[in-house]
Structure formats: C-alpha cells, structure tokens
Amino acid sequence: MAKRRTATVRRSSGFTLIELLVVIAILSILTALLLPAVQKVREAANRTSCSNNLYQIGLAFQMYHDTYAKLPPNRLSDLHATWAVLILPYLEQNNLYAQWDLSQTYYDQSDVARLTQVPIYFCPSRRTAQSPPGHSISGDQNDDIAPGILGPFVPGALGDYATCTGTDNCDGCDCDGHVYNGAFRAAKNQYGQALGYITFSDITDGLSNTIFAGDKHVQLYHFGCGVLDCSLYNGDYWMCSSRSVGPNYPLAQKPTDAVIGFGGYHTGVCQFLLGDGSVHAVATSTDLNVLALLANISDGQAIPEF
C-alpha cells in the first residue's frame, strides 16, 4: 500500500503586515499612556528646582540683611543696579559682582557685567540660562538722553524671579503717586531723594505673612522683550525686576496671559518666597484680596488660609 505524502508548509519567521500594525498600535497606546506620566515627573522635578532657586534667593536676602541690617532695594535708583546684582556675593557669584561698578548706571557697565547670566535666576519649567534669546532683545533703552527720545538699545541678562513691591506696581521711584507698600522699593527716587530701606522690624505683619519674591510672569513667545522681560539687572524700569499682586494686578493663569504680575509656568500654581525663607506653591485661583494682604508689609490684618 502506497504511503501518502504530507506537504510541509514553511512559515516565515518575520512579522506579517497585520502583526506589525498591531505592534505599532500597542506601542502608540503605551506611549500615549506613559507620556503624561513622564511629563508630570519632569514638571515635579522642575518645580522642586524652581522652589530651591527661590529658597537660595531667600537665603541671600537674609544674609544681606545680616550684613547691612536692611533688605536690598528693588533697585538702587533710576537707571542703576537691581537686587539681582546686589545679592550676587551671597549666591557665590563674587566674580560677577566684582565686574559691576555700582556708582555707574546699568548702561555704563561692561558687557561682561550686563550679559553674564546666573543659572539660579531661571525657572527650568520656563527656560534655562542657555535658552534663546539668552539676553534681552528689546526694552533696555536709555530714555533719559533727551525727553521722549530713546537711547541705544543695551542688552542684558534675563531672569524669571521678581521681588514684590506690594499691591500697586510701584517701588517709589517715578511711580506717579502710586502706593509702594511691599518689602522691596527703590533706595532713591528719580530726583535722588532717599526713600529709605526696609528692615525686618518694618515688616509688622510678620515675615511669614509677607511675600518677598516669586515667579515673574513672562508672556510666552515674548522672551527678552521689555519691559516685562527686560534685563533683570536694569534699574531703569522697575518691572524688569519686580511685580505686584492684588485686585489690580492678578496672577497669570497661563503662559500666554497678557498681564503685568506674578505667574510661573507651573500648572495651576505660582511659587512665592515669603520673608521667613519658606517657599509656597500658591494656587493661581487664590483670592486676590488674600494675596494683597501678603504683599503689604504692614496692613495689620489677619491672613486667611491660602
């Protein structure tokens, strides 16, 4: 009896088109599921780094006060250096500080002094010291050469943090009668008259109830554009280095908001340094009247929970 022969079918060891499409679909789903988690972890790390930056700035303020028995001013006077220059020795930036001649205006400083960036002044959720444009690209013009005539553009280093001048967007220098009630103000007004320095004893509401600094709102796609993102070292415009908060100066709710105030690129929160050195992630939905109480150094009112 003849034996039946059975044919053997060889299967290819590769993927069929359908199997390949299934694998790609699975990988796409996994990527979609994992990406938000990775982004959350990255943002959590960035927010921690930003909080540490503010903490280090707070320590520098404390050490400056220990040395001089007063807080640094928001700016020495119109045209001159800001707090970001004055605390450099307490941030291990002595070499950069030595490049500055504080008797001269921002516009008279060397390129090294003006353009050298300090990494601690940048929030990684927004940018780093290496991010383009790297320095201001507008808004740092000297408008005191002649009335109504802008001088040459003089770029400088940027930064993502601002001191708090209180509730009325004014540090006492050329503010047209606006109130300056925050912990940071100009040392002199535009006429050369001393405005006085703030000491811890002047902050009668208590250091733990007073905003010293926070995330400076910079509108997305407007990096380096003055006056809201002019050089952090430039005391010609107080909004280069400071912000206010209250009913008239709300927190930015998102990076694209066109507001003059505080605001970070952290989801739903803005980080603030208080006078006791603590750093708080404050919800951007917080009542602006409560934030105004925190911005004013001596309103004498109790602070609700925030």
Whether the pLDDT of residue 147 is over 80: the answer is no
Q: How far is CA 181 from CA 54, 185, 261, in A?
A: 21, 8, 16
Whether the pLDDT of residue 106 is over 60: the answer is yes
Which residues pair with residue 108 across a beta bridge?
A: none
Whether the pLDDT of residue 151 is over 90: the answer is no
Whether the pLDDT of residue 140 is over 60: the answer is yes
8 A C-beta contact, residue 291 and residue 269? no
pLDDT band at 41; cut points 50, 70, 90:
low
pLDDT in tens, 197-245: 999 999 999 999 999 999 999 999 999 998 899 999 999 989 999 999 9
What pLDDT is attached to residue 40? 61
| Residue position matching structure tokens 């059975």 | 6
pLDDT in tens, 243-267: 999 999 999 999 999 999 999 999 9
Euclidean distance between CA atoms 120 and 58, whole angstroms:
12
The stretch 66-83 carries a mean pLDDT of 96
24-33, 35-44, 129-138, 161-170 — which is least confidently predicted? 35-44
Strand order in the sheet with 269-274: 242-243, 161-164, 211-215, 269-274, 279-283
pLDDT band at 269; cut points 50, 70, 90:
very high
pLDDT band at 305; cut points 50, 70, 90:
confident
Q: What is the pTM of this model?
A: 0.86
Euclidean distance between CA atoms 13 and 237, whole angstroms:
70
The residue among 302, 301, 266 whose CA lies nearest residue 282 is: 266
Whether the pLDDT of residue 11 is over 70: the answer is no
